[in-house]
Amino acid sequence: MTVHHTQHPVFRRPQATATLLAILVTSWVGCGGSATQSVPDAVATTSSPLSTASVTEAVEAPGEIELPPDLVPTLSTQPSKSSGGFEMPSDELPQTAKNQTARKPPINESAKVQFASWDAIQSQVTSSGKITVVDLWSLSCEPCLKEFPELVRLHQSKGTSIQCISVNLDFDGRKSRPPEHYETKVASFLDSVKAEGFRSYICTTASDDVYATANIDSIPTVMVFDAAGKPVKVFVDAGETIGFTYKKDVLPLLETLTQ
């Protein structure tokens, strides 16, 4: 390309360059621009030199441009191949949504798990009007799982006069493992020991907060309350009650309270 310097410089471009500029002007109009002249008028013929003034006029002047029929832009619903876009059919759901909608309920309705904060669970103790036994346990606590069937037997034999409450403390406050994360496994365990007919909770209060509020150091823990909701005894697998069991420790205490 050769540039001649004069008082009013004129750029002389090859024929292909002029054609390219014509296409660019047309594309600009298709994206929301406009010009007063039609494309043939705005751009000089391929055999004539293209001046800077004519290009500026074609780009800046508002108005209408008449496009040939074969250049009229159309709206397409197909994604661009280069964009990597993907249009999901309306009858398809993301896999995560499918997993949520297909989430299985507890194995047995009689072992249905409820979710409640520690404060809400404590309110059940004070409002029942019965002697209450609260069993705090975890799926990862082997002594808890070993003793839990005794709570089931207690309800089966004394359920009319003694309220039994199961409280799972697996939730430790992590957002990556909310209380609902443990629902299926907790329900499966409750079903396996035929735990039915009494309240079974997954506590939505983080376990460390429950330990602090209940003033306990570990689990298994069994808390016994009188009919007025006042604490009578707390059995913890530590200190003076370490190694406690229902048969050896909890049931004898309940016998004295129900006489």
| SS3 (DSSP) at 49 | coil
Residues 54 and 144 in one domain: no
Element (H, E) at 201: strand 199-203
Kindly report, residue by residue over 122-133, the tens digit of the pLDDT: 999 988 899 999
Predicted local confidence at residue 259, as pLDDT? 84
Residue type, 122: Q
Q: Is the peptide bond before 252 cis (omega within 30 degrees of 0)?
A: no
Residue type, 207: S
Residues 30 and 131 in one domain: no
Answer yes or no: is pLDDT of 140 > 50.
Answer: yes
pLDDT more than 90, % of the chain: 55
pTM for the predicted model, two decimal places: 0.59
Answer yes or no: is pLDDT of 59 > 50.
Answer: no
* 94 domain residue, yes or no: no
The confidence band for 101, taking pLDDT boundaries of 50, 70 and 90, is very low
pLDDT (mean) for 168-187? 98
Rounded-to-integer distance, Cα 246 and Cα 253, Å: 10
Predicted local confidence at residue 68, as pLDDT? 53
Domain count, the chain: 2
Rounded-to-integer distance, Cα 217 and Cα 91, Å: 52
Two structure tokens written together for 109: 């309705």
Domain range holding 65? Answer: 7-71
CATH number at residue 204: 3.40.30.10
Kindly report, residue by residue over 73-85, the tens digit of the pLDDT: 544 444 444 444 4
Rounded-to-integer distance, Cα 45 and Cα 72, Å: 21
- Choosing from 54, 71, 88, the residue where a domain stops is 71
